[in-house]
Structure formats: C-alpha cells, structure tokens
Amino acid sequence: MEKRFEQLLDEWRDTKGNVIPLLQKSQELHGFLSREHMSAIAEVVGKSPAEIYGVATFYAQFRFQPPGRHNVKVCHGTACHVNGAESLDLAVKTELGVEPGETTEDGEFTVDRVACLGCCSLAPVVMIDNEVHGRLSGDKLKKTLRKVVG
C-alpha cells in the first residue's frame, strides 16, 4: 500500500469517530473506494470490512468505481426541477449516452444527479468539475459539454 495512504491511516488511528473521515480522505486520494482500501480502514478502526462497506454504501458521497476525467453534476434541487432540470438529464443522456451514476465508455465523463447545489437563482444549473454553469437549456448544456473535451 502506498505511503500517503499509510500515513493517513496512522494520522487518524486514534481519533474518535474516524471511520467517515478516513473513507473521505481515502476517496480524495484515490478517486474512489476500493475493496483493498476499505479493508485496510476496517483493520485500523477495529471493525469488519462488511461494517465499513455498510457505512460507505449508506452515504451518497462514496463511489466504488474509478470516476471519469470530468465530473458532471446535474442539479435536481426544487428550483432546478421547476425550471427544467429533467430536460438537462435528457440532453446529457443524448449527448453522452449515459445515465446518472454512470461513466462514459471512453472514461471522459462521470454523470451524477445531485439534490441541490444551492445556486437556486441561476436554475437550472449543472456543475462541471467544480464550475457551476447556470441558466442552462438542453442545447446550451450540450454545447458546454462539447467545449469541455475541446
């Protein structure tokens, strides 16, 4: 196991309530949670791998497959919903050919559906790699996605 991960385990070993921070930092480091890393965390916190997997799968933040190079989050907050978020879903689907939660075959995009990005006055919004794009239409979103891959 690589050094940075081992340092992480050491750093958090004795902290109360360390399970979720460890999962979060591990995902930050690797992009996702592998079986191997979850087992290592289980050992450090003194729980079974099944318990750790149970915790990880409970929370929406954790992913168990390597993500694509670009992350697309389609906001489905209330304001976005009433302003046409469904049509953005459709645009993503027809442009990239994947459903929310999936990664494109070329590994370029991972698409997520999120509950609310809190930019309600710019609705409907999509976040692409930490940049918020607001007041979108299906067509504008398609053009934005094409620009991302250049």
Partner 1 sequence: MMARVQEVVVGLGSCGIAAGALVVRQALSALLAEHNLDIPVAATGCIGACHREPLVEVRQVDGTSYLYADMDEERTRRLVDEHLRGGTVIEEFLVPPDYDYLARQRKLVLANCGVIDPESIEDYLARDGYAALRRAVTAMSPEEVVEEIKSSGLRGRGGAGFPTGLKWSFARASGGDKKYMVCNADEGDPGAFMDRSLLEGDPHAVLEGMAIGAYATGADEGYLYVRAEYPLAIKRLLLAIAEAEERNLLGERILGSGFSFRVHVKEGAGAFVCGEETALMASIEGKRGMPSIRPPFPAERGLWGAPTNINNVETLGNIPVILRMGASEYARIGTEKSKGTKVFALAGKIRNGGMIEVPMGITLREIIYDIGGGIHGDRAFKAVQLGGPSGGCIPASLLDVQVDYDSLTATGAIMGSGGMVVMDEATCMVDVARYFLSFTQSESCGKCTFCRMGTKRMLEILERITAGRGRMEDLDRLQELAAKVRISSLCGLGQTAPNPVLTTLKYFREEYVEHIQEHRCRALQCRALIRFRVIAEACTGCGACARVCPTQAARGERKAVHEIDQGLCIQCGLCHEACRFEAIAVTTGDSA
Choose one: 1-9, 29-37, 89-97, 99-107; the region binding partner 1 (CB under 8 A). 89-97
CA 57 vs. chain centroid, Å, equals: 13
Burial classification of residue 106, based on how many CB atoms lie within 10 Å of its CB (0-12 exposed, 13-18 middle, 19 or more buried) = exposed
Coarse DSSP helix, strand, coil percentages of the chain, rounded to the nearest 5 percent: 50, 15, 35
Query: Which of 30, 69, 70, 81: binder of partner 1 (CB under 8 A)?
Result: 81
Q: Least Å distance between CB 150 and partner 1?
A: 20
Phi and psi, residue 96, nearest 5°: -105, -15
21 is a site residue for partner 1 (CB under 8 A):
yes
How many CB atoms sit inside 10 A of residue 102's CB?
16
Q: What is the dihedral of CA 61, 65, 71, 75, to 10 degrees?
A: -40
Task: Scan residues 61-80 and list those touching partner 1 (CB under 8 A).
Answer: 61-62, 76-79
Q: Least Å distance between CB 51 and partner 1?
A: 9
Which of 93, 78, 59, 68 is closest to 125 using CA atoms? 78
Choose one: 30-38, 64-72, 86-94, 99-107; the region binding partner 1 (CB under 8 A). 86-94
Choose one: 1-9, 30-38, 98-106, 115-123; the region binding partner 1 (CB under 8 A). 115-123
Would you say 29 or 60 has its CB closer to partner 1? Answer: 60
Q: How far apart are the first and last CA of the chain?
A: 36
12 is a site residue for partner 1 (CB under 8 A):
no
> Which residues in this chain contact partner 1 in the complex, by CB under 8 A?
16-21, 23-24, 45, 54-55, 58-62, 76-79, 81-84, 86-87, 90-91, 94-95, 114-123, 125, 132, 134, 137-139
